[in-house]
Structure 1
Amino acid sequence: MEKTIEKRLNRSEVPTEMTWDLGDLFVTRSEWENELKNLEADIQTVTTFKGTICDNKVNLLNCLKAYETIYKRMVRLGTYVSLRQSEDGTNPSNQADSILFSSVATKLSKELTFVDSELVLIDEDTLLSYVENDSNFQPFKSYIQDIIKTKSHKLSPETEEALAALGEVSSAPFNIYQMSKAADLTFKPFLNEEEVELPNSFALFETKYEFSSNPTIRKNAYESFVATLSQYKNTYASVYATEVKKQVALSKLRNYESVTHMLLHPQKVTTEMYHNQLNVIFNEFAPHMRRFARLKQKELGLETLHFYDLKAPLDVDFQPETSYKKVKEIILDALKVLGPEYSAIMEKAYNERWIDYSDNVGKRTGAFCSSPYGVHPYILISFQDNMRSAFTMAHELGHAGHFYLANGHQSIFNTRPSLYFIEAPSTLNERLLAQYLLKNTDDYRMKRWVILQSLGTYYHNFVTHLLEAEFQRRIYDLAEKGTSLTANVLCDTKGTILKEFWGDTVEIDEGASLTWMRQPHYYMGLYPYTYSAGLTASTAIAQKIEEEGQPVVDKWINVLKAGGTMSPNELLNQMGIDMSTPEPIRQAVQYVGSLIDELEKSFN
């Protein structure tokens, strides 16, 4: 039989309606380039205050206002170039602009380090009195509070300036990783059971083939995928080891108790909250997931459940037809429960082209939401015509709704809550979508399918990202003990974690041990565990909305508008949730256990 390959579109071939409208940031690249040049010239509006902000309150306030203006412009410029690089990392112009902006941003960051260095010299009580008693300082509340909290970890002004000058070098591990994934990694086509060649890529594998009901496609796509990963494991290990060593070195320079303490500091959470999240889920959630794995093996008729089978659909004969248009309608209806103000934001996202949903050559894998201050959020997703993509879309729209509200009600310095909280609004949307779908069907197979999608959400956050977090915890521990982080060490650590979690229910092969190569989150501090923290919180909030209705919704919208003006636990306390104890985590684990109970009954 003749072999055919389904061609992936180049970026220039993608229909306009499938792309985001970057014109809301800059109409043309030339406009962006001119603004970048102007920004370099205008930096003196801030640097003119160097050496004077400790002199009096007026100088301090004027410096902060000038800094705020420059910061807003930097965010807008950086977002534009980042989004262009994300939509097509193979484009030489995008690559060059990314490098150009990184160079300018590093230079400007170096020149602006004096603001932090001089702020820490001002008496803490004086700074707090400004924030508490003078409304002019309210836009800088979070910034000033963070300065006070990190005061003991600040280095000399000269050292801080030198570190800022090395910004491009410091971000090199992440940039190398992203560039390699987007522009260099290629995967050989593979054969389906009819001997027809199918193309493979990061996006196709992680959004389509892993979820295929066809065991041949799952197996062959996986083998094609890990074959390429294996070729790069030593290079990627070297890149990641550099990132880890950098963080460990910085934690020692800044006199933190450990690298974990340093990375948790900006999240405004305790080490106890961090370890609770990992320990409870890793130990108490694993038995439920092993039950799920055994059920999947039985219903799929597999002699052995391989790692590449874990995301295979259970009810293979029931796949609700869907499309981008249909998913849009479902999501908008499902999120009406959050009220007209929130629904209007969701409508804007679709109608004003905030979303880029094509799958083209060079496009960044996965999905994300970028929310530049003063514009509107942008969502990247490689949409596939399956309902799993609907949950991913709802997730990213949760981020968009959150930051549209926060940006609209807070100053740029007060918009960002802790990473610990970031995934609560996004995963809540997934929970609300599941509740909506369950309420709007009497078909038992559809209900079972929705439960499976819900389990997909928990799998993503309580398994995929939680096991990433456990990997991070162990790798940082090894690094602080002086262990060399070779590819073998990274693979052995990942393989051990997977075997401990899944026990004897899943065959963990060498390809599974390469999973640490698949996500950029390892270059983002202690980010992976926050997915489980957010879903823990949103599980409780969704239940409260279902039981109590509008009063809870009103509180939630106000929490979103609060942005970063409170710690994550203070935000969640507004919703009646206390994350300083392991109880909400255990309740979420028990809830997932009940879903698996229902699933087992449905197949008996």
Structure 2
Amino acid sequence: MSTKTIRMTRDEVPVEETWNLEDLFPNELVWEAELVSVQEDVHTVTQYQSRLGEDAETLLGALKTLEAFQKRLIRVATYAMLRTSSDGTNPEYQAGSAKVASAFADIGAELSFVESELLTIPEETIENFIKEEPNLQTYEKMLADIMEKKPFTLAPEIEKILAALSEVHDAPYMIYERSKTSDMQFDPIVDHSGRELPMSETLYEDRYEMAADTVTRQNAYDSFIKTLDQYKHTYAATYATEVTKQVTLAKLRGYESVTKMLLHSQQVTEEMYENQLNVIQEELAPHMRRLAKLKQKEYGLDKITFCDLKAPLDPQYNPTTTYDDAKEMILDALQVLGAEYSAIMEKAFSERWIDRADNVGKQSGAFCSSPYGIHPYILITWTDMMRGTFTLAHELGHAGHFYLAGKNQELVNTDPSTYFVEAPSTMNELLLAEHLLEKTDDNRMKRWIISSLLDTYYHNFITHLLEGEFQRRVYTLAEAGTPLTADVLCREKKETIEHFWGDAVEIDDGAGLTWMRQPHYYMGLYPYTYSAGLTVSTAAAQQIKAEGKPAVDRWLDVLKAGGTLKPLELAKKAGVDMSEPNAIKEAVAYVGSLVDQLEKSYD
């Protein structure tokens, strides 16, 4: 039976399994009209060109106008992105995304004067404007952040040219995603009984990679790797272009390195970045090697290989659940965060914020997009595996965060640094695990929950952290002038994985191709931030368990703060100090204690 006869097309999907895009625009015609309108209305902002330094009133008027215009742009872009994510094979959706990219390149070029012009105004003048006009205090952090860019900003005409080229700059990511959703085809697989099963990237990542049946898992891995191998040279050229872009921009702007440039936008020190990569790799590896050996023993394997690492520890116990049951579990677990937060979670389910369908062309993985002034949108592919409950809770954590930030902050102050952004999402996973452990007396179920919690740490402390280590290696090579061919990228990825797992796991050449799985490499230094967020949430979750309401109140205050504080200050507001490696060490030690519990349960 072929994949095409099993997976629905988008128009076959029941509406209740899809998100409600009408909350953004009633229909495509209204969206297209707004796309045209925002291009025509850019003059409402450009009328302030060469006037930002006139007086406080003019500056306030310009920033308010810009913010109102940006809200419109966000809605237009989000609509196009969500449609393409739901079905990347749809030519109308592809064309819509292309229209947005082209229009936004022009708009970005027109609006580039704002930052360039602000940088020409003396800081003392801006400080005086803020004193004269109290309403400018809303924009105080934004203005301060722009001033920090002053040493690295190019001449206004050059900044305008770079902004006009945004569509070209974004092309590597667009090509990568378009290819993954529209071009990649995978051979069907067979399980241990000889039954043929459909295969896709989504099915592999959401089901087969965690399959208890070793034959299914191995065959799916072989199919997955076979297809990746067919695309490696194209994807290497695409990723190399992205890296070259970043390295070139870093040099043009006068940064010491591309790493310093990318960390600058996150408002993170190089020491904080290095702590995450170094401490976790060095101190977590021994714990996870023990877990790998435990899986090898339970499966009766002569050796444990890369494709076995995400297999369930108990091969005969991999519980399933319905979407409705998962919903109730999540809602019950998150009641600890109070009535206000719980109400947001209820709205997510009742108002169709979530797209859970599995259809041809749908983007793999999961994400949450939160257009300001509307509500968050969550993409997930529901497969009835109970592990998906944790993924859904994770994305709802992002939704709760940005919903609260949007309700309590103006647009300019909603987005925190990516260094912090994964803390609210992983917090929900930790609270879900704690809740499930409290609700069961079944030792086998408890063991599964602990294993699922370890999956969360695996995802953030291993999968994404090793992506971060891979990035560190790639940027080092690029700055040294080494061509980033497919062979080089595969070698570096394989060596990164081998270094972490040592002799405990056999790493085949196919593992080296897995740098092709994630879009995160096109998002700056994003992968390592998953571990930073989970470090913060681990400490904060322990505080909630120990203190109750006072810790919950601190956490909700942090979510409502949005981007008003730098990541170090946000973490401290939650009661966690990330300026030193202690919180990272404690989180790793907690993971070690979970492995201890599993080992004892099998003695």
Question: Would you call these one fold, judging by a TM-score over 0.5?
Answer: yes
Counterpart residue number, 1:509 = 508
> Partners in 2 of 1:333 and 1:481 — Cα distance?
52
Aligned position for 1:147: 146
Partner of 2:103: 104
Which residue of 1 is the match for residue 349 of structure 2? 350
Amino acid at match of 1:72: K
- After the TM superposition, which residues 57-456 of structure 1 pair with which residues of structure 2 at under 5 Å, given as runs? 57-131=56-130, 134-456=133-455
The answer to whether structure 1 residue 467 and structure 2 residue 460 are counterparts is: no
- What one-letter code is carried by the residue in structure 2 that aligns with 1:351? S
Question: Which deviates further from its counterpart, 310-319 or 104-113?
Answer: 310-319
Counterpart of 1:369 in 2: which secondary structure? strand
1:2-41 per-residue CA deviation (whole Å, 9 max, x = no partner) reads: 9998610100000000000000000100000001111111
Please give the secondary structure, in 1, of the residue aligned with 2:198: strand
CA offset at residue 143 of structure 1?
2.0
CA distance in 2, matches of 1:228, 1:508: 19
CA distance in 1, matches of 2:240, 2:436: 44
Identity over aligned residues, as a percent?
58
Q: Is the 8 A contact 1:236 1:517 kept in 2?
A: yes
Classify the secondary structure of the residue corresponding to 2:70.
Answer: helix
Aligned to 2:499: 500
Amino acid of the residue matched to residue 194 of structure 2?
E
Deviation by residue 1:213-266 (Cα, 9 ceiling, x = unmatched) = 011100111111110000110110000000001000000000011100000011
Equivalent-residue separation in structure 1 for 2:137 and 2:241 (angstroms): 39
CA distance in 2 between counterparts of 1:186 and 1:544 reads 47
**Partner Cα distance (2:407, 2:390) in 1:** 26
Give CA deviations for 1:438-457 in whole Å, capped at 9, x if unaligned: 11111111111110000000
The answer to whether residue 525 in structure 2 is matched with residue 526 in structure 1 is: yes
**How many angstroms apart in 1 are the aligned matches of 2:559 and 2:432?**
19
Instruction: Show CA shifts across 1:121-172 (max 9, x none).
Output: 1111222344466331133233212111101111000000000110110000
Contact 1:188 1:200 in 2 (8 A): yes
3-state SS in 2 of match to 1:379: strand
Instruction: State TM-score, norm by structure 2.
Output: 0.99
Distance of aligned partners of 1:58 and 1:134 in 2 relative to their CA distance in 1, 3 Å threshold: closer
Pair 1:327–1:37, CA change in 2 (3 A)? same
Query: Are residues 4 and 231 of structure 1, via their aligned partners in 2, closer, same or farther at CA, if it must alter by over 3 Å?
Result: closer
Q: How many residues align?
A: 603
Per-residue CA deviations over 1:311-349 (Å, capped at 9, x if unaligned) read 111112223341100000000000000000000000000
Shift of residue 583, structure 1, vs aligned partner: 0.2
1:491 is the counterpart of 2:490 = yes
SS at match of 1:528: coil
- Cα distance in 1 for residues equivalent to 2:216 and 2:484: 34
Q: Which amino acid aligns with 2:218?
A: K
Contact 1:322 1:386 in 2 (8 A): yes
Q: Which digits, 9 at most, give the CA deviation of each residue in 1:547-579, with x for residues without a partner? A: 000001011111100000001110111122110
The 1:488/1:552 distance shift into structure 2, 3 A limit, reads same
DSSP-derived class of the 1:432 partner: helix
**CA distance, structure 1, for counterparts of residue 402 and residue 361 of structure 2:** 27
1:109 deviation in Å?
A: 0.4
Deviation of 1:193 after TM superposition, in Å, equals 2.2
Structure 1 stretch displaced more, 96-105 or 116-125: 116-125
Residue type at the aligned position of 2:583: P
Mean CA deviation greater in 185-194 or 544-553: 185-194
Once residues 327 and 304 of structure 1 are traced to their aligned partners in structure 2, the CA distance between those partners, rounded to angstroms, is 35
- Aligned pair in 2 of structure 1 residues 564, 319: CA closer, same or farther (>3 Å)? same
Please give the alpha-carbon distance, in whole angstroms, between the structure 1 residues aligned to 2:518 and 2:28.
30
Q: Counterparts of 2:3 and 2:149 in 1: how far apart (Å)? A: 59
Q: Summarize deviations over 1:329-387 as a string: whole Å, max 9, x none.
A: 00000000000000000000000000000111000010000000010000000111111
Q: Give unmatched runs, 5+ long, in structure 1.
A: none
User: RMSD between aligned alpha carbons?
Assistant: 1.2
- Tell me, in whole angstroms, the C-alpha distance in 1 between the residues paired with 2:71 and 2:393: 28
Secondary structure (helix, strand or coil) at the match of 2:268 reads coil
Contact between 1:3 and 1:196, CA under 8 Å: does it hold in 2? no
Amino acid at match of 1:148: M
1:188 partner SS: coil
SS class of match (1:521): helix
Work out whether residues 5 and 198 of structure 1, in 8 Å CA contact, stay in contact via their aligned partners in 2.
Answer: no
Q: Distance in 2 between matches of 1:389 and 1:241?
A: 33
Instruction: Quote the Cα distance in structure 2 between the aligned partners of 1:528 and 1:559.
Output: 22
Question: 1: CA distance between counterparts of 2:570 and 2:496?
Answer: 32
Task: Note if contact 1:6-1:198 (Cα within 8 Å) is conserved in structure 2.
Answer: no
Residue 10 of structure 1 is matched in structure 2 by 9
Equivalent residue letter for 2:216: I
Q: Does the 8 A contact of 2:56 with 2:130 survive in 1? A: no
Q: Are the equivalent residues in 2 in contact too, given 1:186–1:228 (CA < 8 A)?
A: yes
When structure 1 is superposed on structure 2, of 427-436 and 438-447 the one drifting more is: 438-447
Shift of 1:504: 1.1
Where 2:52 maps in the other structure, the secondary structure is: coil
8 Å contact kept, 2:2–2:188:
no
Q: Distance in 2 between matches of 1:243 and 1:575?
A: 35
Q: Give the Cα–Cα distance (whole angstroms) in 2 for the partners of residues 35 and 363 of structure 1.
A: 25
Q: Is the 8 A contact 1:4 1:197 kept in 2?
A: no
Mean Cα deviation higher: 556-565 or 130-139: 130-139
User: Cα distance, 1:58 vs. partner?
Assistant: 2.1
Contact 1:5/1:197 (8 A) holds in 2:
no
- Aligned residue type for 2:355: D
Task: Give the Cα separation in 1 of the matches to 2:53 and 2:3.
Answer: 70
Q: State the partner residue of 1:479.
A: 478
